[in-house]
Amino acid sequence: MVIYEKSRQNKEFEGMGTTLEICLIYNNRAYIGHIGDSRIYRIRKGLMRQLTQDHSYVQTLVKQGTISKEEADFHPKKNVLTKALGCNSFVEPDVMIRGFQKEDILLMCSDGLTNMVPQKEILEITQKNFEIAPKELVEKANQNGGIDNVTIITIKNM
């Protein structure tokens, strides 16, 4: 609501919005809230799985079968969001609960990472050392062009 009100008060901020990823970890479960095209991945036993689904025009095309996941990676409207925090007075987040077992890693990131670094490299760097992975992944995204801001958090269930 605050972001929406700010965008209505100042012409310079008109139409602004942002993504939101929130995660509460409790009793080996990850409670996730999600709006936009930032993502949360879970790495378990060497496999990386995207837990959230992008709220974007291109993701809608993929769900409809109009384009493939591979075509989505290079679609010109890839960053057009269908849901963002601040564009309306109220936005309903996706909410989910996922298991978070011992040795699992959660990776929370903005699309500035996923648009610049292939998933295979993200997995390799994160598995090598989850603590320094955010710094290394930001550097990698910037080396690959860094056309957007990059935010990354990694969490490991020890």
Amino acid letter at 18? T
Which CATH number applies to 2-156?
A: 3.60.40.10
| pLDDT digits 0-9 by tens, 110-123 | 999 999 999 999 99
| pLDDT digits 0-9 by tens, 101-153 | 999 999 999 999 999 999 999 999 999 999 999 999 999 999 999 888 899 99
Domain boundaries, the chain: 2-156
Amino acid letter at 19? T
**Are 21 and 108 a contacting pair, CB within 8 Å?**
yes
State the greatest distance between any 2 C-alpha atoms of the chain, in Å, as a whole number.
49
